A and B are shown apart, each in its own frame.
Chain A
């Protein structure tokens, strides 16, 4: 029987991370994500893990990457300006292929914005934030239970695909308390990074295996010597500006996620099979949307809901399928229109996509979503 806890979303992410084997956390205080750091400060020493409060946001992601290079599953968390600051070193982790979980508890922006209130303005930042091309994995939880489960999934994906994985939570979810069923250890998958199978003298650190385009990773201190760099590099990990080596390096960073897109993508549907109208929303907003969809069904309207659990890779093929029937798609989100661009791209003009944005720091109420449905019914 699972244990039952009554946690905030931020706390659930920290607890999920621990359940996934996170043994290193570095952070810097920022609203509304500090609770994650505080939970880790309490729990990690007791678990024999490493916790450190660094001098700034930049240093905290750097230290977490260092922890991962030394072999510990590592995480950092932040919000708003803190995420912007972390992007430089996030790029290094993409380039050097260092597993890492980065939690973004979204608040209003740009700049200092509205620190204590919700937004979903960082969807595109999560995809593209840091200069240069790379594949992105970003999860969007919608309940405290899911914060816990996604934290485990995010670590598994980071270790499996050897790169940073982002959790896009939000201020409301972070601070909301809900009942969480905590599964017993052993009842869920916990993945570890692929280790080299060759002796240290034969180790070629960035030689990817053809089966998955991912090179096995040695930890510092395990007897292997290798070079970590943010420069484009060859299979030996040594900096290179040779056209064929740079091309090989960058295309693999994108391809290693693209080819496993179907394994990574997750979504949730509600009453979509016969839906003429589809609401697509994620995170806290999805909760209001589902209430509104239930209400509309009671009134006899054929409305369904689609919730991307991975915002990146985006479940475009799946939305395309649903748009065969659903000719009107409403996309409420707490920004001026970010994920809606992906929905629009996904349906290839087959359905009318209606953008509904809100950027006043509040959440869409179910009645507001109901009125959007009523407008098109």
Chain B
């Protein structure tokens, strides 16, 4: 059972939640709430934004300042909120389709701007809510309702995408390692600038059952087996790493943050 200081963050009056029993997203919610508790964040000064999808229903259950926005657009809403009130802690939770398909443009520009928002990408490799269609992170060869003969296009590496676009903190973990999820979320929220934590999640209902991983535990074991710590991965060949989830902290650099830059600009303009 979660600790009382964790459940304090929940809108339990809206339970039961809408996720399938055994969904990986609950592990991420718990990791996020532990991180917020560890950091002694105040719910009334914490914003959690999301777009559309199973992942994006998370903010509804968190008793903070929450925004359940439109598909793929949550980072743009979050950017407006953060710019209006930079003192707020702003976290954005996204799914893989939400982040990298319909929201790809917003994602890369939030990375480029280096605005102090923490993006948590809950990557379950599928469009779960709409019934199991292929997403940009569905592995090649995997089956989905819109790829009944298997996916033929390469999938995105979201961490490389974030790094290339200019994010100053980029890490990946898996739901089979909740301690690491929590640690990366803590570090990402502490980080001043745009931080991305990709967490490989599971969807036995829409991904697993079409890909020979029917039960929740089989799916969690699948991502556990496919995950490779960064230290081990560096000695592996690209062929050996194909289809694997490399976990670790990939980027952690200091760079000017957007709202700081904006407020300095305001001071400069006012001084003229």
Residues in A lying within 8 Å of B, measured CB to CB: 24, 26, 45-46, 48, 50, 52, 54-56, 58-60, 62-72, 74, 88-89, 92, 200, 220-221, 223-231, 236, 238-239
Q: Is A62 touching B77 in the complex (CB atoms < 8 A)? A: yes
A228 with B105: in contact, given A59-B76, A66-B76 (CB under 8 Å)? no
Expressed in whole angstroms, the minimum distance between the Cβ of B222 and any Cβ of chain A is: 31
- Which range contains the number of B residues in contact with the other chain? 35 or more
A69 surroundings in chain B (CB, below 8 A)? 67, 77, 80-81, 84
Whether A67 contacts B81 by the Cβ 8 Å rule is yes
Q: How far is the CA of A46 from the CA of B108 in the complex (A)?
A: 29
> 16 A-B residue contacts at CB 8 Å?
A46-B269, A46-B270, A48-B270, A55-B108, A59-B79, A65-B80, A66-B76, A66-B78, A67-B84, A68-B80, A69-B81, A89-B73, A221-B45, A221-B87, A231-B68, A239-B60
Could you list 17 further interchain pairs (A-B, Cβ under 8 angstroms) beyond the known A63-B83, A229-B60? A24-B80, A55-B109, A62-B69, A62-B77, A62-B79, A67-B81, A69-B77, A70-B80, A220-B47, A221-B44, A221-B45, A221-B87, A223-B44, A224-B44, A230-B68, A238-B11, A239-B57
Tally of contacts, chain A with chain B, CB under 8 A = 139
Inter-chain CA distance A60–B59, complex, in Å, is 22
B84 touches A228 (CB 8 A): no
Given contacts A66-B80, A220-B47, contact A54 B109 (CB under 8 A): yes
Interface of A is mostly: mixed
Residue of A whose beta carbon sits closest to that of B56? A229
For the complex formed, measure the closest distance between the CB of A343 and the CB atoms of chain B, giving whole angstroms: 35
Residue B249 at the chain A interface, CB threshold 8 Å: no
Minimum CB–CB distance from B165 to chain A (whole Å) comes to 11
Q: Are A50 and B262 in contact (CB under 8 A)?
A: yes
Residue numbers in B under 8 Å from A226 (CB-CB): 65-66
Query: Nearest Cβ in chain A — how far from B5, in angstroms?
Result: 16
Interface string of B202-233 (1 = CB under 8 A from A): 00000000000000000000000000000000
Asked whether, in the complex, the Cβ of B68 is within 8 Å of the Cβ of A54, the reply is no
For the complex, give the distance between the alpha carbons of A92 and B70 in Å: 7
**Residues of chain B contacted by A58 (CB below 8 angstroms):** 73, 76, 106
The answer for the CA separation of A68 and B84 in the assembled complex, in Å, is 8
Q: Of all chain B residues, which has the CB nearest A48? A: B266
Q: Is the CB of B106 within 8 A of A59?
A: yes
Q: Smallest CB-CB separation from B107: which chain A residue?
A: A55
Contact of B266 among A45, A70, A238 (CB under 8 A): A45
| Complex Cα gap A68–B11 (Å) | 24
Which B-chain residue is minimally distant from A223 (CB atoms)? B44
